Amino acid sequence: MLVTYAAQHIQHMQKALELMNLKLAHVVSDIAGRTGLAIIRAILDGQRDPRALATLRDPHCKADAATIACALGAKWLKIIFIMWQRQVPYDEQYHLATMTRQQLGRR
């Protein structure tokens, strides 16, 4: 059940990115991975510069910073609230799933 909720939150974050015309999902294989979440959190914190956002890429990310910056060069719409609305519950579900796994591992 927790995995289902997390997947729904990820889908909503992807939809919000599409509505903002941000092509992050086209250059990052998993927006819930290190690079994707780092960029999403920075956007929610107010960062809008595509080059600054691209520097947040994980060294293991296949896309280079220039490719990521191009994918993030969009007109910013007032849909960031939707991203926040979905990213916060995703983090909560992830934390809950991690805690549950740890508790089950101790038994």
CB atoms within 10 A of CB 30: 12
Judge whether residue 81 has pLDDT over 70: no
Note if the pTM is more than 0.85: no
pLDDT at 14 over 60: yes
**Which pLDDT belongs to residue 27?**
92
- Please write down the long-range contacts of 97-104, taking CB distance under 8 Å and 24 or more positions apart: 97/2, 97/3, 97/6, 100/2
Domains of the chain, residue spans: 2-106
107 band by pLDDT with thresholds 50, 70 and 90: low
Give the per-residue pLDDT at 55. 96
Structural tokens at position 95 = 């934390």
Pick from 79, 7, 6, 14: nearest CA to 44: 79
Q: Maximum distance among all alpha carbons in the chain?
A: 51
